[in-house]
Chains A and B, each alone.
Chain A
Amino acid sequence: MTVDARIARGGALALWAAFFFTLWLTGSTDRFLGTRTAWIVPFGAIVLALAVLAYGYGYLRARGRGPRLTLREASGLFALLVPLAAVALVPHAALGSYAAARKGSGSFFLSARPPVPPKPADASFLDIRIAEGDHTFAGNAGIKSGLQVRLLGFVTGSKDVPAGTFEIARFYISCCIADAQAVGVPIVGRQPKRDTWLVVTGSLERRGKRFVVRPGRVQRVDEPAQPYLSFRT
């Protein structure tokens, strides 16, 4: 007996609806999307669920026998399920030093001007990097040598840092991980293992064009629940 294609189609849709609901309800959207596009997850969940219901209603109401599932259509439906399988392979993963090296040194986003942090001590990776080249922003944000900062980031292993320092960074995303860029700040000291997450507390000092952090305290931590920061204006 052959498969009714409508059941297979409805099943594929239902799986995607369930996946979007899971992302939404577990708060895992930010593992894939920035805050700018996070709305599409609940939207997708609700619309797909409604579509499944309407499609299912139509199936139950239909008097005729439905189309049979062909090899071609089945392969298309399985292809649509591949991303769901891919998510299962990287359930709690996040971009790390390898991606930071492939995607470049984090020049994305540095041209735009976010609002200044509420307090200078709240300066983020992005604020510090922008302040390196924009004296007006640095003045408004209060970012200068001697400022005490606290940064949470992963070790990138980047060689593009002043001598005697290593870089920690966070990925900033606008739309989704495809546009993610690592924005890093050098830390004075010996480099730990790549992809180690650290909380570094210390004071900013100038080394040429760069701000570096002279750490007072370096603490290894687990990867945060939200590994990416969203760029917003």
Chain B
Amino acid sequence: MDRTGLAAPGLALAPARERLARAWATTTISEAAFGRLLGLFVLLTIVASALGAGRGPAAQTFLLIFTSIVIEALPFILVGALASAAIAVYLPQGSFGWISRLPLGLQIPGAALGGFAFPVCECGSVPVARRLIARGVEPGAGIAFMLASPVLNPIVLASTWVAYGGHMRGAEMVAGRASLGLVTAAAVGFAFSRTKPGELLRPRPADYEHDHGHDHDHGDIRDSGPVAFATHLVSDFLFMGKFIVLGAGLSALVQVVLPGSVVSALGGAPVLSSLALMGVAFVLSLCSEADAFIAASFGSFTPGAQLAFLVFGPLADMKLTVLYGATFRRMFVGRLLLVAIPIILVGSLIFEALVR
């Protein structure tokens, strides 16, 4: 405060929104308040259950789809968090520096092909990619790996082959999915090749970085590998988990509100059908290890449209988009869609022409 008694000018002029955001991020909760909030949460759940809040058909359908998506996705987030924590704790800081010295033309496709070695669905690859980029991997290569691994991994390709009945048809879809997935992942990777890590990665809230007590002592964490590993694991899991919950809620809501017949009507038109199935993939938020059976069932849609479903879903669905928003800066999702959608659309039309 200056001699006139007024508050420091900078503080007085700070927008209200910034002050609110700062308060939100820094205001701590007392034990009593936390206890009351927890009690209120439990009480509301009990009351809602007693009143039959989940008994109506729409509410029940929403709750069942919502919880099943979360239950299915969280362990895969855990897998990704495990890998991310292992990289953070057990790999030395400059481990990926040699990759960054390779020409971009090799780095990005090479990183995309590395997806063969990471057999998890898309939720798990996000924390790993973030950790790789933070550890020195070229952002474009990290993004290419993140987008390719849910599509190129052996389990996904095997389930695609089975879903399409094996033989020639299965082989065609596998080849189509793998090649279009690889091309799209690499293209998006190149779109981010000039981006610096600081421009791409959203800084993590201090809450979710590993614990910094007032008497912080790195020695405690560094000396105990398993403890540091658990700290990183918990940090990544909790951070990603809440966005999965949000994305699952949105996906379940749309599935309840939008009848399936709306999409079925678009089956015939080549371009519209691909776009329609890409929209369905976005909403359904399915795991890439099982989505092939869903794609195969869209009998009224062309093989090209089904391929668009298979390639687009693991790149961008509702829950992933929320996760991306938490992990990367605002421009990421827009640029991803801007690059991926035309490539997948054109690729699906080419595939359609080739298989006919």
Contacts and interface: CB of A to CB of B under 8 A. Distances in A.
Interface of A: 1-3, 5-6, 8-10, 12-13, 16, 20, 23, 32-34, 36-37, 40-41, 43-44, 47-48, 50-51, 54-55, 57-58, 61-74, 76-83, 85-91, 93-99, 101-104, 107-113, 174-179, 181, 231, 233
B265 to A, nearest CB: 12
Contact of B41 (A85, A98, A104): A85
B291 interface: yes
Q: Which 8 A-B pairs have the closest CB atoms?
A: A64-B213, A175-B290, A104-B260, A89-B54, A54-B230, A98-B57, A64-B215, A177-B68
A28 B309 CA distance: 31
A175 B72 contact: yes
A98 B238 contact: no
B202 interface: no
B31 A1 contact: yes
A52 to B, nearest CB: 8
Given A71-B29, A85-B41, A104-B261, 6 more contacts: A54-B226, A63-B220, A67-B211, A83-B71, A90-B60, A102-B61
B179 interface: no
Interface in B284-315: 284-287, 289-291, 293-294, 296-299
Nearest to A97: B57
Given A33-B68, A82-B245, A93-B64, A178 B238 contact: no
Interface stretch (B10-18, B111-119, B251-259, B331-339): B251-259
A20 B55 CA distance: 24
Interface residues of B, number: 94
Given A55-B231, A58-B230, A102-B61, A36 B75 contact: no
Contacts of B242: 76-77, 79-80
A67 B286 contact: no
A110 B296 CA distance: 8
B217 interface: yes
Contacts, number: 273
B233 A43 contact: no
A179 B293 contact: yes
Contacts of B291: 175, 179
Contacts of A55: 227, 230-231, 234
Contacts of B297: 107-112, 181
A87 B67 contact: yes
A12 B229 CA distance: 18
A58 B227 contact: yes
B28 A2 contact: yes
Given A3-B34, A65-B214, A67-B213, A13 B237 contact: yes
Contact of A16 (B60, B74, B285): B74
B165 A113 contact: yes
A32 B264 contact: no
Given A55-B230, A102-B61, A102-B259, A70 B28 contact: yes
B302 to A, nearest CB: 13
Contacts of A87: 63, 67
